């Protein structure tokens, strides 16, 4: 049974044009009143999806010469396996109570690592000399800053929106 738009004559003409190697767009133009997609659908429903052997769609060839081949990239020499350098053991964090009991006694060149519960009476700050790389001594600096891949705050989409709002 054919659809109202596909009479027996149109189906036979579709089969002939398809067998001649025309594309679906070309067949649709020849038939008139149908779209390329309608032609493709009818071709598949009729089981004509495969082309006959030896039939090729004529495509215009460009008059340009073939592109020259690019020279192959030089191959890198195989690398020797990398041996990890021994890592020095980090300085241990100081144990015991801190040297500074009050926040008002903290100065610019001492470790500001909090020790204990801030609500407890024995709360204190480390108070040992700073390492120079941050606000902590060598032992507490290792605990505070772990090596690894650091993420930039500027790459965080929420931070970027906030920064963009401040700049505007």
pLDDT tens-place string over residues 86-123: 656 666 666 677 777 777 777 878 888 888 888 888 88
The mean per-residue pLDDT over the stretch 114-137 comes to 82
In a domain, 77, yes or no: no
Q: What is the pLDDT of residue 38?
A: 92
* Residues 98, 112: Cα–Cα separation, whole Å: 10
Domain count, the chain: 2
Q: Which residue has 């190697």 as its token pair?
A: 21
pLDDT beyond 70 at 84: no
Do residue 3 and residue 48 come from a single domain?
yes
Tell me whether strands 124-125 and 114-115 are parallel, antiparallel or unpaired: antiparallel
pTM of full prediction above 0.75: no
> 10 lies in which domain range?
1-56
Do residue 99 and residue 49 come from a single domain?
no
In a domain, 110, yes or no: yes
In a domain, 100, yes or no: yes
Q: Is the dihedral of CA 9, 15, 20, 24 positive or negative?
A: positive
């Amino acid at each position: 049974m054919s659809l109202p738009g596909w009479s027996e004559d149109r189906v036979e003409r579709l089969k002939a044009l398809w067998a001649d190697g025309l594309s679906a767009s070309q067949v649709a133009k020849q038939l008139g009143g149908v779209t390329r997609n309608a032609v493709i659908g009818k071709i598949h429903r009729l089981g004509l999806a495969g082309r006959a052997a030896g039939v090729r769609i004529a495509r215009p060839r460009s008059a340009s010469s073939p592109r020259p081949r690019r020279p192959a990239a030089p191959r890198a020499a195989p690398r020797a396996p990398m041996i990890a350098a021994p890592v020095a053991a980090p300085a241990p964090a100081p144990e015991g109570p801190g040297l500074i009991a009050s926040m008002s006694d903290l100065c610019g060149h001492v470790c500001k690592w909090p020790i204990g519960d801030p609500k407890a009476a024995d709360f204190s700050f480390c108070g040992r000399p700073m390492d120079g790389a941050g606000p902590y001594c060598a032992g507490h600096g290792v605990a505070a800053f772990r090596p690894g891949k650091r993420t930039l705050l500027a790459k965080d989409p929420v931070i970027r929106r906030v920064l963009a709002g401040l700049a505007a």
